[in-house]
Structure 1
């Protein structure tokens, strides 16, 4: 997690210097928000996933895999079952983001 970026992004807003702090974030600061604290869960075929995570090529191309990614886009976990993902989330201090 990159807490210094989060702190610098909100320091000015706290003192009334920036009305809308999220609009003033750099790309790196935005990517760091929630990194290490928030994860996204996506199912993908191993063949698809191998395009950006080479280790996924060890599984058959059509096998469905569960992917957890940090808020900054870094892969956190590749699993072969939803239960494995749930177990991992339960043992780590992270929050699962949901899309609406």
Structure 2
């Protein structure tokens, strides 16, 4: 049940259109909701999520821990959105 709820929250957090911004996203460390603009995003890591290749973290140090363990790099919200739009093409 917890896994199903997590998948639901991830899908909800990723729904965004050109006119609408993502407001919340799931923290990859504790599965709580994070204000999307305040989150730190890991891209290009060797670990893949259930629905995406990006991981969001409430704390920059958690994002950096993920990068040390699985590679990748930490980006801000604006870069994350740009990459999401490019991937959707």
Q: Same fold (TM over 0.5)?
A: no
Flag the structure with higher strand content. Answer: 1
Greater Rg over alpha carbons, structure: 1
Q: Shorter-normalised TM-score: what interval?
A: 0.3 to 0.5
> TM-score normalized by structure 1?
0.30
> TM-score normalized by structure 2?
0.33
